[in-house]
Amino acid sequence: KVVRGLMEYIQDLGSNGDTNADANANENENILLQSLNEQLERQCNHTEAALEICRYYHDRPKLKEYTLDAEITRMEYQILISDDIVLTNADEIKHYFSQQSHGRENGNGNGHEMDLVDDMLLRCANQSILADIFPIITGPRKIVRMQFLANAVATRC
């Protein structure tokens, strides 16, 4: 029973090289992804959900410091500053955003709207934003199947 369940799980997630299995796996993958996308659409893709997230992060300004002090060093981040500048090193990222903060304090910020965007992005950049997605992708016939001790860990942002 466990082996059969694991085989179905593997089939749902991908194929084993057999052409018939490939077609079935692609069909299963499409059904699985379609179901997850529909659930995400219903639960998360509407104005009230977006406003709820904005309110949550707006009410927690200390998340910015938490992201810079704890999360940046723990995960791999890529911050696109311009077409030519991509920051990937934790110290560079911290330095860039600390310069931005000092620039704002001295009246040299990059514009009020961009300051707000940077601030909210830093508050949101920690993994708590992923917490809403886990209940949607976790379940007996979903991507993360606890019955097989499957889990997901974010390592990049």
Contact 111, 45 (CB under 8 A): no
The model's pTM is 0.57
* pLDDT above 70: percentage of residues in the chain: 69
Whether residue 84 is predicted with pLDDT greater than 50 in this model: the reply is yes
* 127 contacts 39 by C-beta, under 8 angstroms: no
Residue with the larger pLDDT of the pair 131 and 157 = 131
Q: Which neighbouring-strand residues pair with 79?
A: 87
Residue 68 is given by DSSP the state I
Quick: pLDDT tens for 10-62: 777 664 444 455 555 455 556 777 778 888 888 888 899 889 888 988 898 89
Closest CA to 124 of 82, 78, 71, 46: 71
Report d(CA 32, CA 30) in Å as an integer: 5
pLDDT value of position 59: 92
CA–CA dist 23, 27 (Å, integer): 6
Q: State mean pLDDT over 80-84.
A: 86
